[in-house]
Amino acid sequence: MSGNKKNNRAKRMKNERIKGYLMASTILLALWGLTSIVANSPALPSPVIVIISFISTLPDLAPHFLTSAFRVIYSIIFALSIAVPIGMLSYQDRIDRIVAPFIYLLYPIPHIVLLPLIILLFGIGDASKIILISMIVFFQILVTTRDASRNVSDYYVISLRSLGASNRDIYKHVIFPASLPKILTAMRISIGTAIAVLFFAESFATTSGLGYIILDSWSRADYEGLYSGIVSMALLGFTLYLFVEFLERRLCRWV
């Protein structure tokens, strides 16, 4: 009986989320359409025109979409694989005394200004873009993970140690589960940051990616192509955001 209630509750919440997305999309499209009518400018076409243009250019946009998706996903995974272990290890004071100074010194630096230098060192291919995005996202995930691990109550650790748990058990059963919700929150934030940095990175010395499509359309005054690229980039971010939300529902059932 309780299982049926839980399933019904999950279905109801899913339906409410879908209704919320549909309502928000309708409001945004209506505001967009109203603004385009008021502005009456070719630089702001109506959403109907943009949607038709997006569908008609989908075969040309698809390779650029996949290229941008690869760069963003690879960058986030790469940053996660380094930032999460370091952030969780910072639970120990002796390690945090080493990690914290590097965070305080390096995190405030606007890393995006390093793009020209990164291009000089790693070329104009995917490597330079992935390194730049990973570098910026890395610190966002590291700071959040470190703070989450440092905020874990010592009582949980002491309780588990009293049962004979090793350091590995402490990290596996206490530090990581306690930090996981914050790690996924950092991933949500990093998606928006990664998409923004991607656009900037793809505007330099490249002929592929959604950022290139947007700037190329803008330079040719192809406003329909410009908005098609923007819509594609928005869909990329939205899809990744939904995937992280799915992971959170699966991995953090206790939240």
Mean pLDDT by 10 residues, the chain (255 residues): 60 77 87 88 86 88 92 93 92 89 86 83 86 91 91 84 83 88 90 89 82 89 88 91 87 72
Question: Structurally, how many domains does the chain consist of?
Answer: 2
CB burial of 24-37 (b: ≥16 within 10 Å; e: otherwise) equals eeeeeeeebeeebe
Same domain, 14 and 108: no
Residue 253 phi, psi dihedral angles, 5° rounding: -65, -20
How many angstroms separate the CA atoms of 245 and 70, rounded? Answer: 20
Same domain, 117 and 226: yes
Amino acid, res. 16: E
Structural domain that includes position 13: 1-40
Same domain, 96 and 202: yes
Same domain, 26 and 54: no
Distance of CA 251 to the CA centre of its chain: 18
Same domain, 111 and 24: no
For residue 45, being part of any structural domain is answered with: no
Is the sign of the CA dihedral 14, 58, 209, 217 positive or negative?
Answer: negative
Do you know the residue count of the chain?
255
Is the sign of the CA dihedral 124, 127, 131, 133 positive or negative?
Answer: positive
Same domain, 131 and 104: yes
Same domain, 212 and 168: yes
The whole-number pLDDT of residue 76 equals: 93
Same domain, 59 and 25: no
Same domain, 179 and 245: yes
Give the global pTM. 0.85
Residue in 172, 188, 125, 178 with CA at minimum distance from that of residue 150: 178
For residue 35, being part of any structural domain is answered with: yes
The whole-number pLDDT of residue 5 equals: 62
Residue in 232, 186, 231, 233 with CA at minimum distance from that of residue 83: 186
The whole-number pLDDT of residue 1 equals: 45
Same domain, 145 and 116: yes
For residue 216, being part of any structural domain is answered with: yes
